[in-house]
Amino acid sequence: MHSECWPSEETLPREKFPKQDEVEIYRCHKTYMGYLSLHFCAIHFGETIFLSVTDEKNELTDLQASYPIKYSDADNTVCMVGEPHSYGNDVARLLGMKFKVPFYVSVNVDESDENLTNFIFSSCLEMVKPLFKKKS
């Protein structure tokens, strides 16, 4: 598995937004099973995180939103673009439950299998975990 991740502040100029003190952008490229090239992007808006996972097509076919709720058995995701029960839905639900902050997740990959979903989730988790360590 090939992998390279970096915070954009090292590679791209940081942009300041008028109402946001700090917006952080992180990018990562990984290869799944030696053939599927995946591009990850995490944008941290302070209280919300947007995650995008795309293959070489780089199309927006999926967007899911996850909001923290106090009832663990209730559905905490909303489908905004694409299929309600997609990779993005699973990833958004799990991340929202784990970190208790809103997540917007877009997984735009043509392949489909459980191992790929696990790979995408663990890669997203790897990207966002340091953001929560910085907060505490």
Q: What are the residue boundaries of the structural domains of the chain, listed by start? A: 3-12+22-135
Note the pLDDT of residue 136.
56
State pTM to two decimals: 0.79
Note the pLDDT of residue 68. 81
Specify the pLDDT at position 118. 93
Residue 12: predicted pLDDT: 43
Residues in Cβ contact with 71 at an 8 Å cutoff, skipping those fewer than 6 apart: none
- Up-side HSE of residue 6: CA atoms within 13 Å toward CB? 6
Reading the block at residue 31, the tokens are 């290869």
| pLDDT on residue 16 | 46
What percent of the residues of the chain are helix, what percent strand, and what percent coil, each to the nearest 5? 30, 35, 40
| Per-residue pLDDT tens digits of the chain, which is 136 residues long | 445 555 544 444 444 445 556 788 999 999 999 999 999 999 999 889 999 999 999 888 999 999 887 766 677 889 999 988 888 888 998 898 889 899 999 999 988 788 999 999 999 999 999 888 876 5
pLDDT at 72: 66
Task: Give me the pLDDT at residue 15, please.
Answer: 46
CB 61: neighbour CB atoms within 10 A?
A: 16
Long-range CB contact pairs, 9-14, < 8 A, 24+: none
User: CATH code for 3-12+22-135?
Assistant: 3.30.230.90
